[in-house]
Amino acid sequence: MADTWHFYPKLMDERQLWISFNESYDDIAESDSRENLLRIEIKLKKPTREGMPTNEEYEKLCALEDIIVDAVCSTNGVFVGRVTYDGRRYYSFYFSCSRSELSSLLHPILDQSGYKARFVMEHDPQKLFYWQMLYPSDDDWQMIRDLLTLDQLNKHGDNKGIARQVFHWVYFTEQEQVDDFSDWLVQECYQFQSVTEQDEQFCVRFYHIGTMRLSDISSHTLKIARSVGELGGEYDGWESSVEKLEVKEEVNTHIDDKEAKGDEVSKEEKVDLIQRFKNWTQHP
C-alpha cells in the first residue's frame, strides 16, 4: 500500500518553508530498526523570489527525486520527508545499510544530476529529525486540512479570490463552553448562525466572509481551533460554496479600476492580465 504524504507551509526563523512528510511512517517510527538519517541537499538553479522551484525546474527535480528514492530504497531505506526553502531542497531518509554502500550509490547520481548537491549521514535512533522537523504541530495539521479542502474546491473550478460565506462547525459537551465561545465569536466579529444539541453534544455553527486564499482562510481556522481547544471543545472544520467568475469579467473589472484612476492599459498588458488571472484561478 502506498504511503500517505502531506505538505504544509511553516515559518521558521522568519523563513518560509514548505514541508512534505510521510505520515505513514509515524506508525512504525518507534519500532523501526533503521537508526541512521540521510539528508540530501540540492541547490535550485533558478528559484522564484520565494525560494521555490519554477514549474520547469519542478519537473526536473521530480525526475531526480525518483532516481534518488529508488536508489536509497533499494538498500531498504525509507523516504520520510522533503523540505524546500531559500532556493534549496532537502530530502530525508532513514537507512540501515553501511554508509559506504549508500555513498557509492549516491555519488554518481548526484555528480551526474547537473545540480550542486551534497549529503550528510548521522545517527538518529529516536527519529528526532522526523518528529521535530517534519512532523506537524496542531496548527500545522489545521493548515494541512485547509489545503486539502482548498484543493477540492480548486478541482471544481473555484475562483479563490472571490469572497463568500465560509461556514464553521464546533462541538462542545457543556452549555457553559457554548456560552463562553459565543462571547468569543462576538468579540472576533463572526456571524453566529445556530446552536443545536445532538448525541449529548452542542453543535455551534457560524460563518465569516472571506476568500479561499490560504493566508486568508487559515488566519481564521487557526484562531478558531486554538480558541475551541482552550475551551475543551472540538473544531470540526469548514465548508464553502464553489464560486466561479469568468476570467474576462475579472480582467474587465481590473481594467476598469485602472482606467478610472486615469491609467492607460495597453493591448499587451491586457493579454498579460488574462494570463495572470488564469493562473490565479487554476493554482491554489
Give the integer Cα–Cα distance in Å for 201 and 174. 8
5-134 and 138-240 have identical folds: yes
Share above pLDDT 70 across residues of the chain, in percent, rounded to a whole number: 87
Q: What share of the chain is helix, strand, coil (3-state, %, to 5)?
A: 45, 30, 30
Q: DSSP string of 1-15? A: -PPPEEEEEEEETTE
Distance, in Å, from the CA atom of 143 to the CA atom of 25, rounded to the nearest integer, reads: 20
**Alpha-carbon gap, residue 134 to 51, rounded angstroms:** 19
CA distance 256 to 265: 9
Question: How far from 122 is each of 36, 95, 99, CA to CA, in Å?
Answer: 6, 10, 10
Give the whole-angstrom CA distance, residue 50 versus residue 27.
33
The count of other CB atoms within 10 Å of the CB of residue 45 is: 15
pLDDT tens, 90-102?
Answer: 999 999 999 999 9
Q: What is the pLDDT of residue 254?
A: 67
Q: What is the pLDDT of residue 265?
A: 66
Q: How far is CA 155 from CA 151, 237, 283, in A?
A: 6, 19, 10
Separation of alpha carbons 282 and 73, rounded Å: 34
Q: What is the pTM of this model?
A: 0.80
The C-alpha angle 244, 246, 250, rounded to 5 degrees, equals 105
Question: What's the confidence (pLDDT) of residue 273?
Answer: 61
- Is the domain covering 5-134 a CATH 3.30.70.260 domain? yes
- How far apart CA 257 and CA 5 sit, in angstroms, is 42
Please state the domain extents for the chain.
5-134, 138-240, 247-282
Report, as ranges of residue numbers, the positions in the chain whose pLDDT lies below 50: 278-284
pLDDT at 228: 97
Fold of 138-240: Alpha-Beta Plaits (3.30.70)
Q: pLDDT value at position 22? A: 97
pLDDT of residue 61: 94
Contact status, residue 163 vs residue 210, Cβ threshold 8 Å: yes
C-alpha cell recorded at residue 282: 487554476
pLDDT (0 to 100) of residue 222: 97
CB-count exposure of residue 38 (10 Å: 0-12, 13-18, 19+): buried
One-letter amino acid at 29 equals A
